[in-house]
Every structure is written in structure tokens, then in C-alpha cells.
Amino acid sequence: MSGPSQTAIPAEDQVSGPTAWRVLRVPVPDSLDAPEAWGVHGTVRVGEAVDREIHGHTDLALDAATTLVSMTAQQEYKKTVRLVAVAYGARGGEPDRTPAASDVVGRGMVGLPQKGNTHVAIVYAGVDPDHRGQGVGTALWEEGLRIAREAGRTVILSDSSHSPEPPAGPGALESPTGSGRVPLDDPGTRFALSRGFSLEQVMRHSAISLPPRQDVVARLREAARAAAADRYRVHLWQDTVPEDWIDEFAVLETRMSTDAPSGGLDLEEDPWDADRVRAASRSFADRGQGYLIAVAEHVATGRLAGFSMVSYPHDRPEVVVQEDTLVLREHRGHQLGMLVKIAVLDELARVRPSSRRIHTWNAQENRHMLAINEALGFEVASVDAEWQLRLA
């Protein structure tokens, strides 16, 4: 599948000191081995550099397969445009040659929801730590904003990661939700505020080393099973959602957009149906990832009341990422969140014993879910700022 050509956007190159650079759309290559895959691999390289600086590891960095699939799969639900800043001159050679992955000094992304929240664009810009302060991030941001405006979007969302969370005081920006803060002197914070963004929410990034303490898990499992009693039944699925349950699962995914805390973000319902669930499942496979889902069935009605899902890259056998966990409002108070999370932990130990750590994110004001994670042994790793900009 051929993608857009490597035309410079904007047309005029940017020059800072000995290095000149230009912003390009990432070409969509036929394969990751094709010469046109330079933009995908350059995006990955910058992402890994940024993650090492923030987190000290690359567990969360997008790999090449995931980056490519994001530009080709599920575009009917969210169109994704990826951008790169490419250096030449002292670093990258001549401007008219095909760039190399090593020439990429910044990356950007524009996400355009196509079903729900069609007033929103997600815009992100990240710069190689060695090339900050040269206007690279600004150029990526301005091109992302141009794409968003051209698509008719009126609300821009973005995020930034920070480690550690700062203490309360004059050096911290407090979340308007009353929970969580980010450092005022961080480059990501300064950039967002200078562009007119407002902080709407802070997410806590937590991690747990595996295996967890078995005595703790056994105690929590027993209590959760007692609270759920015979009113709820747990089902486990790996790499597929059974057709008998696919419509019910789509309801849970839709409710994630309305039942989970979102602070002051201008977000509406994001509708899911069976086709979208199937498309998401194919996308995991295309990215080289597997997943596990535990759902809680309300026995009396035969309806799903909650779920927890994790995914894992097959080429990083130690890493697991918590996807969504949700208990519908009408079924809360029965420890179902703990029940399905422990069910996933138990199944993960059985089918993927190489797993050594799980990463998860929760709104800082979501004390109930944070309490579940803390009880299981999750510890704070970093915080994410959720930013919003309303366009005139």
C-alpha cells in the first residue's frame, strides 16, 4: 500500500544554527523493509529517545509495526497522520535526497476521530532531546494544528508525561479536578501553556512487577469472589471476542467513553459496534500483539457488567500494558473491578509466564480504581497531563 510522498510541509525549510530541517508527512511504505519505511523507523527512534529521558526505559515506546498499523488500520474510526522533522545540512546531508531514519529529529501525530467526537483532534509533537530549543516542536505543532483546522476540528487535545510528580507548591500546576499536578518548569508544560492549552486532568501512570505477592492476591481474590457471590460469572478471552458476546462487549467499550472520569475534557460518547470490536482485534494481530480480557457477566440478566483488558507485544516478552478496565455504574459496589483484574493476572501467569511488569493509567481523581491498583501492589511511575485547547 503506497502512501503520501515526502513533500515538505510547510514548503520553506527551517534553519537553526548549523542544522536545517523540514517537516514531512511520514510515507506509508509497502513493508517495514522498504526504503520508504525511513519515516516509520525514524518516528520509532525519536519516540524511544523521548521515553528513555522520561521513564528510563522503552517499554511504552511504539514499535515500527504499531506505528505503521496506526496509519493504515481502523482509519474509518480514527484517521491518523504522522509527521517527522528531518534534518539535513550538518547532520543529514542534502535536502533533495531520500532521508534516513537517523535524520529524523522530531515526530508528530494528528488523530482525527471519525465516529464520535468529530469536533476533536489529538495533536502530539515530540523532539529528540538532543535537538530541542531549535523550533522543531513548534513546527511540528503548527503543521498538526493546520491539519486539525483543515479537518474542521474546534477542540485540540494533547498530553505530556512527567516523572516524578512534583510536590504541591509554587513549582507545580494543579489539576482542576483537585487531584494530581505537573511540574511548571518542565518543557512539555511550558510548551503547552505557551500555546494556550489548559490543564484539564492528570493521569497516574503506575506499574507492578510480576509475579505479584501471592498472599496478597489470594486474600483480595477471596474477598472479591465473596462480594460478587453467585450474582456474577467471570469469562476469559484471549486474542478474540466471541461472537456470542461481541455486541455486549461493544456496549462496554462505548460506556468507557461516558463512565470513566475525563475531567474537563470536551469529550462525547465514542460509539462502538461489533464491526469496530472485530477491527480492533485485527489491529492487535497486525501490530504483533496479543491480549487478554476478563469480563463479569451479570447472571440474572445475562448482560456484561464490567471488564478488564491487557495487551502485550510478542517481541517484548516481559512487557504488559493495561488497556481498559470498567465496571458499569449500575453494577458498582460488588468488587467487580478487583475480580476482573485478578482474573486477568491469574490468566496472564498461565498463558504468558514471561511477563514481568504491567503498566497502567488512571485518572488521579479515580480513587476507587487507584485503590484497587495500590492494593494489588502497583506503584506510581509517572504522571500524564491532559491538555485542551479550544480554537476560535
Asked, colleague to colleague, whether 14-153 and 211-355 share their fold, the answer is: yes
Superfamily (CATH) of domain 14-153: Gcn5-related N-acetyltransferase (GNAT) (3.40.630.30)
Domain coordinates in residue numbering, the chain: 14-153, 211-355
Q: How confident is the model at residue 89 (pLDDT cuts 50, 70, 90)?
A: low
Q: How confident is the model at residue 302 (pLDDT cuts 50, 70, 90)?
A: very high
pLDDT at 2 over 70: no
Q: How confident is the model at residue 258 (pLDDT cuts 50, 70, 90)?
A: very high
DSSP 254-273: HHHHHHS--TT---------
Structural contact between residues 306 and 340, judged by C-beta atoms closer than 8 angstroms: yes
What pTM did the predictor assign?
A: 0.92
Kindly tell me the sign of the dihedral angle through the C-alpha atoms of 156, 157, 158, 164.
positive
- pLDDT value, residue 17: 41
pLDDT digits (tens, 9 = 90+) for 201-211: 999 999 999 99
Taking the CB of residue 244, how many other CB atoms lie within 10 A of it? 7
Question: What is the pLDDT averaged over residues 9-35?
Answer: 72
SS3 content of the chain, % helix, strand, coil (to 5): 35, 30, 35
- pLDDT value, residue 21: 84
For residue 10, is the peptide bond before it cis, meaning its omega torsion is within 30 degrees of 0? yes
Mean of the per-residue pLDDT values of the chain: 93
How does 274-313 read in b/e, with b if 16+ C-beta sit within 10 Å?
Answer: eebbebbbebbeebebbbbbbbbbbeeeeebbbbbbbbbb
pLDDT at 304 over 90: yes
pLDDT at 9 over 70: no
Question: What is the pLDDT averaged over residues 87-99?
Answer: 65
- pLDDT value, residue 91: 46
Q: Which of 72, 62, 76 is nearest to 28 (CA)?
A: 72
- pLDDT value, residue 94: 58
Question: What is the pLDDT averaged over residues 161-174?
Answer: 96
Span of 94-98, 229-233, 325-329 with lowest mean pLDDT: 94-98
pLDDT at 15 over 70: no
What CATH number was assigned to the domain covering residues 211-355?
Answer: 3.40.630.30
Distance CA 13, CA 22 (A): 5
Q: Which of 206, 198, 37, 62 is nearest to 126 (CA)?
A: 62
